[in-house]
Amino acid sequence: MDNAQELLLLEQIRAGDQAGFATLMRQHAPKVVGLATRLIGDRSEAEDLAQEAFLRLHRALPGFRGDSSIGTWLYRTTTRLAIDHLRREKLKRKLFFFRQNEDDPDPIETVSDPRSNPARDLHTRQAMRRLSQALRKLSARQRAVFVLRHHEGLPLQEIAALLGLETGTVKAHLHRAVTTLRLELADVYEEAP
Cβ neighbors of 147 (< 8 A, separation 6 or more) are 35, 38, 39, 135
Q: Tell me which of 53, 76, 100 is where a domain ends.
A: 100
pLDDT at 174 over 60: yes
Confidence of residue 129 (pLDDT cuts 50, 70, 90): confident
Q: Tell me which of 80, 100, 120 is where a domain ends.
A: 100
Tell me what the mean pLDDT of segment 93-113 comes to.
44
pLDDT at 123 over 70: no
- Residues 115, 64 within the same domain: no
Confidence of residue 17 (pLDDT cuts 50, 70, 90): confident
Tell me what the mean pLDDT of segment 9-14 comes to.
84
pLDDT digits (tens, 9 = 90+) for 43-102: 889 999 999 999 998 888 888 777 778 888 899 899 989 888 887 776 555 544 433 444
- Residues 130, 149 within the same domain: yes
- Residues 48, 70 within the same domain: yes
Question: 86: exposed, middle or buried (C-beta count within 10 Å: 0-12, 13-18, 19+)?
Answer: buried
- Residues 76, 138 within the same domain: no
Domain CATH for 127? 1.10.10.10
- Distance of alpha carbon 93 from alpha carbon 159, whole angstroms: 28
Between helices 70-96 and 18-40, what is the axis angle to 10°? Answer: 40
Domain that holds residue 5: 1-100
- Distance of alpha carbon 138 from alpha carbon 90, whole angstroms: 11
Number of domains in the chain: 2
Tell whether 105 is covered by a domain: no
Q: What CA–CA distances, in Å, run from 59 to 21, 84, 156?
A: 12, 19, 29
- Residues 92, 186 within the same domain: no
Cβ neighbors of 95 (< 8 A, separation 6 or more) are none
